[in-house]
Amino acid sequence: MAGCKILFVMGCPEVPVQTSIVLYFSNKLRKHGHRVTVAGTDAALRLLSVSDPEGHYIENTMDLDQCIADLVERRIEFDYCFVFMHNDAGMTYGASISVISKAKLYAIVFGKNAESIAETIEYPAEKIVAKAVHNPTPLKNKLDRVVI
């Protein structure tokens, strides 16, 4: 099914795999005909814009706080939402998205504490967990199995 509206919610960009995985997965979904919007902090979005200055992989971005406000006020909605997380704050954002959005939720959990963070997720979300910090391949391989 093409033409889905998909939201990526980026966590803190301190774990290196996040930026490359977001670029990779956004590109893949776009090639399947989906529309991807990436929300993140100013630092997370700057990493993307420097890596992809001409927007080949990332089409739309938005400030994370604005994204939350727009979801709550029903100004935007998505079919699928991928929340990238490697710490408690990321897990907390995922919990909020599970309440304020009707999108099917995926929790993409990575970083050195991936397993313990994943165990704290008690909200409805499909969990994709890989202990990836510098090497994105384990996470990429798991995301390649997601079919939209």
Partner 1 sequence: MSCIEQMKYKLLLERTSFKEAREYIEKNSDEVYYVDPGYKIFKDYYIIGVPPIAMGAKGKDLLFTYVKPCHGAFVMSVESEEEIDKLRESEKKKILSSLKKGRK
Residues that bind partner 1 (CB under 8 A): 10-14, 40-41, 43-44, 64-65, 68-69, 71-72, 87-93, 95-96, 99-100, 122-123
- How far is residue 56's CA from residue 23's CA, in Å, rounded to a whole number? 9
> Smallest gap, in angstroms, from Cβ of residue 33 to partner 1?
30
**Closest distance of CB 127 from partner 1, Å:** 15
Residue 11 vs 136, nearer CB to partner 1: 11
Cα separation, 36 vs 116, whole angstroms: 29
Nearer of residues 2 and 43 to partner 1, judged by Cβ: 43
Cβ at position 99, least distance to partner 1 in Å? 5
Q: C-beta of 111: minimal distance to partner 1 in Å?
A: 13
Q: How far is CA 26 from CA 20, 34, 58, 74, 95, in A?
A: 10, 9, 6, 24, 22
The helix/strand/coil state of 16 is: coil
Read off the DSSP letter of residue 34.
-
